[in-house]
Structures are given as structure tokens and as C-alpha cells.
């Protein structure tokens, strides 16, 4: 029987009542045709010592008692269903509140990273640059080799600090994402990995035209996912091919579009221990995606391939995230991060 042939749940009580009515009518017709009551009375009279003539009244009482018992159980079942529905509603509300709090946390985290990157650039970067300028001046005017060597060492250390600071800033905040958009930043980031892993062939496929993201939060989340995925590629495998696909699509279920990110790489030595796959990076990626209302899959595929797949709804705009907070008197107030 197909799903179209199954009656809807609302029609089941009517079907049961119809079956009961037809069965009662059929039993009445059979009783009238066979004179069932007369036959039973004659049989009961032959066994008068057992008082079998009282059996119909006993059966009627039993039927009434069973109807009362069924009614009580039905009332209890309805009460239990009501309690479960209320509990599910509270759980759904709590999960939604937790998700919105996680969204607020993600935004606050990115704001803090932006602030730290700006401070590194404005404060530490300027100080190191000033030290380097002073060291270059000392090296140029040094009277002996020891002084020139010391000044040259200071210049080299300043250069190393600048490179390290620039790398930290890049990790804290993807450069150019506000000015050039997600696609351009991803292309530049993948180019860096092409230089780091020249033996691997990196393929990046992105939507043509304007950026597919709708807001800073989603763009940052996609960049972080690609960042963590490529870091794991270099750390845990010796790939020959790394494919990164980014597409905007409309899901089969639900409203609004979603951003689909897929990262595949080969050359992975599959680890048989499932617990070891749940690294901190993977857990962090899953939490970030779920905080935005999406889902993430990461696992091994046949042929020593590792697949990371994420789906993110892109209708979210977390510039103003308000979280309902239940007060002591049960009134919900709005709070912004």
C-alpha cells in the first residue's frame, strides 16, 4: 500500500465507527435469522443450576465497566499527551534560545577578533616598525662590527615579529573580506595554500557574479570553515587533489536559500578510531555551523578521501541579535549582545 492509499489520521476514528456499525448490524441480522436469543434461553434453562440466564446482564455490566475503564485511560492519555506537548514546546523554545545565544556569541567573538587585529596593526605593528627604523639607523651609523651586527640582528628580529604579527592578524580577521567580498578572499587564501603545498592541485569553484553570502557572519563562517579544513588537509594527509565547492542553492525543504560548502581531499590515511576524529577543530566548526542554523558532515569516503560538507542558511542577519530572556515573573524581555 502506498502512502496515497493510507487514510489520514483524522479519518481513522470515522473508519472505526463505520466498521463497528457494520459489525453490529451484521450481528443483529445473524441473531434475528438464527433466533439466537431463543436458543440461548433454551440452553440456559437446561442448566438452571448454574444461573446462566443471568449471563446477558453480566455481559452488559462488563461492557459498561470496560467502557468506563477505556474512558479513564483515554483521559489519562490525553493528559499525558498534553504534558508532553507542553514539554516539547518548552524544549523547542529553549533550543531556539540557545541557538540565538550561540549566534550572539559568534558575533561577539568575531567583533573581538576584529578589535584584536586592529590593535595589533595599529599598536604593535607601529611599535615594531619604529624599532626597525631605529635599528636600521644604528646599523648605518655604527662605528664597529659588533654594533652593526647587533643592529642587524634587531632588524631581523623586527622582520620576524612583523611576519608573525601579520600571520596572527590574518588568522584573527581575513584581510579584505569587508572590501573585496568572500569569493575574492577565498581565492587569495587558496593561492597561499597552492604555494605551501605545490604538489597538491587545488580547485576552487564559486558562484559567478556577486558574492553568495548575505551578511558578514555567514561570510566569516565560510572562511573559517575553509581555513580549518585546509589546515587539517596539510596536517593529516598528503593530498594530490583538494576540491573546494561553494554554491548557493535552494533546499528541497524549508524557506530561503542556503550556502553549500564542500571540501574534498585525497591521500588521507583513514583512522579506525572514531573518537580520534572528533578533534577540537571539527567540534568548533560544528558548533559554529549549528549556531547559524546549519549542519555539518565530516567523514571518510571510499578511496582514502575525506569529505567535509556544510550547509548554512543565508537569510540570517545577525547585526541585531535579540535574545528573549525569561525574568523571575515569567515575562520575556529582549536583550542585545
Residue-wise pLDDT for 1-24, tens only, equals 444 455 565 566 778 778 878 888
User: Is 293 a member of any domain?
Assistant: yes
> Is residue 23 in a domain?
no
pLDDT score, position 78: 92
| Domain-located, residue 62 | no
Residue 147 near residue 138 (C-beta atoms within 8 A): yes
Q: Per the domain annotation, does 124 fall within a domain?
A: no
Mean pLDDT of 241-252: 84
Q: Are 249 and 258 in contact (CB under 8 A)?
A: yes
- How much is the pLDDT for 19? 84
Average pLDDT, the chain: 77
60 assigned to some structural domain: no
Instruction: Return the pLDDT at 214.
Output: 58
Domain that holds residue 255: 181-337
* Mean pLDDT along residues 246-260: 77
Is a pLDDT exceeding 90 seen at residue 306? no
pLDDT at 334: 38
Question: 190-227: string of b/e by CB count within 10 Å (b at 16+)?
Answer: beebeeebeebebebebeeeebbbbebbbbbbbbbbbb
Q: How many domains does the chain have?
A: 1
Handedness of CA 219, 224, 225, 229 (dihedral sign): positive
Q: What is the pLDDT of residue 243?
A: 92
Please tell me the predicted confidence (pLDDT) of residue 1: 46
**Hey, is 51 helix, strand or coil?**
coil
Q: Output the pTM of the full model.
A: 0.57
Residue 81 — pLDDT band, cuts 50, 70, 90? very high
What whole-number distance in Å separates Cα of residue 213 and Cα of residue 223? 11
* pLDDT of 326: 34
258, 252 contact by CB (below 8 A): no
Q: pLDDT band at 274, cuts 50/70/90?
A: very low
Per-residue confidence band for 135, with pLDDT thresholds at 50, 70 and 90:
confident
How many percent of the chain have pLDDT more than 70?
Answer: 79
Dist CA 185 CA 170 (whole Å): 11
Find the range with the poorest average confidence among 5-19, 106-120, 252-266. 5-19
pLDDT of residue 331: 31
pLDDT at 279: 60
Whether 121 is in a domain gets the answer no
Backbone angles phi, psi at 85, to 5 degrees: -65, -40
Among 101-115, 127-141, 312-326, the range scoring the smallest mean pLDDT is 312-326
CATH of the domain at 231: 3.30.565.10
Q: Mean pLDDT over residues 177-182, rounded?
A: 77
What distance in Å separates the CA atoms of residue 172 and residue 187, rounded to the nearest whole number? Answer: 18
**Confidence band for 330, pLDDT divided at 50, 70 and 90:** very low
What are the Cα distances from residue 318, in Å, to 178, 179, 184, 185, 216?
A: 16, 19, 22, 21, 8
In a domain, 119, yes or no: no
Is 148 a domain residue? no
CA dist., res. 227 & res. 301, Å (int): 21
In this structure, of 32-41, 83-92, 187-196, the range with the lowest mean pLDDT score is 32-41
pLDDT at 80: 94
C-alpha distances (whole Å) from 173 to each of 185, 231, 284, 301 are 11, 16, 17, 32
Label residue 337 by pLDDT band (50, 70, 90): very low
Amino acid at each position: 500500500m502506498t502512502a496515497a492509499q493510507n487514510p489520514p489520521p483524522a479519518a481513522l476514528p470515522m473508519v472505526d465507527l463505520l466498521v463497528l456499525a457494520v459489525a453490529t448490524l451484521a450481528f443483529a441480522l445473524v441473531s434475528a435469522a438464527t433466533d439466537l436469543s431463543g436458543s440461548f434461553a433454551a440452553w440456559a434453562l437446561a442448566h438452571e443450576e448454574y444461573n446462566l440466564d443471568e449471563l446477558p446482564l453480566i455481559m452488559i455490566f462488563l461492557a459498561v465497566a470496560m467502557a468506563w475503564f477505556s474512558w479513564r485511560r483515554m483521559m489519562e492519555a490525553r493528559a499525558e499527551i498534553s504534558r508532553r506537548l507542553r514539554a516539547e514546546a518548552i524544549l523547542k523554545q529553549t533550543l531556539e534560545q540557545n541557538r540565538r545565544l550561540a549566534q550572539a556569541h559568534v558575533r561577539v567573538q568575531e567583533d573581538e577578533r576584529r578589535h584584536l587585529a586592529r590593535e595589533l596593526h595599529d599598536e604593535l605593528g607601529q611599535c615594531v616598525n619604529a624599532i626597525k627604523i631605529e635599528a636600521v639607523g644604528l646599523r648605518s651609523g655604527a662605528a664597529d662590527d659588533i654594533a652593526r651586527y647587533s643592529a642587524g640582528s634587531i632588524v631581523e628580529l623586527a622582520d620576524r615579529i612583523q611576519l608573525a604579527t601579520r600571520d596572527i592578524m590574518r588568522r584573527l580577521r581575513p584581510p579584505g573580506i569587508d572590501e573585496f567580498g568572500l569569493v575574492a578572499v577565498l581565492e587569495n587564501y587558496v593561492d597561499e595554500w597552492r604555494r605551501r603545498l605545490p604538489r597538491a592541485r587545488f580547485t576552487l569553484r564559486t558562484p559567478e557574479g556577486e558574492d553568495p553570502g548575505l551578511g558578514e557572519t555567514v561570510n566569516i563562517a565560510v572562511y573559517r570553515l575553509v581555513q580549518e579544513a585546509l589546515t587539517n588537509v596539510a596536517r593529516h594527509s598528503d593530498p594530490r587533489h583538494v576540491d573546494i565547492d561553494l554554491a548557493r542553492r535552494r533546499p528541497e525543504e524549508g524557506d530561503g536559500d542556503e550556502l553549500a560548502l564542500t571540501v574534498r581531499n585525497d591521500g588521507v590515511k583513514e583512522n579506525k578510531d572514531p573518537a580520534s576524529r572528533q578533534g577540537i577543530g571539527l567540534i568548533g566548526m560544528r558548533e559554529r555551523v549549528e549556531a547559524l542554523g546549519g549542519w555539518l558532515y565530516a567523514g571518510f569516503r571510499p578511496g582514502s578521501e575525506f569529505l567535509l560538507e556544510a550547509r548554512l542558511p543565508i537569510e540570517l542577519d545577525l547585526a541585531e541579535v535579540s535574545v528573549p530572556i525569561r525574568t523571575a515573573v515569567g515575562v520575556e524581555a529582549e536583550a542585545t549582545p
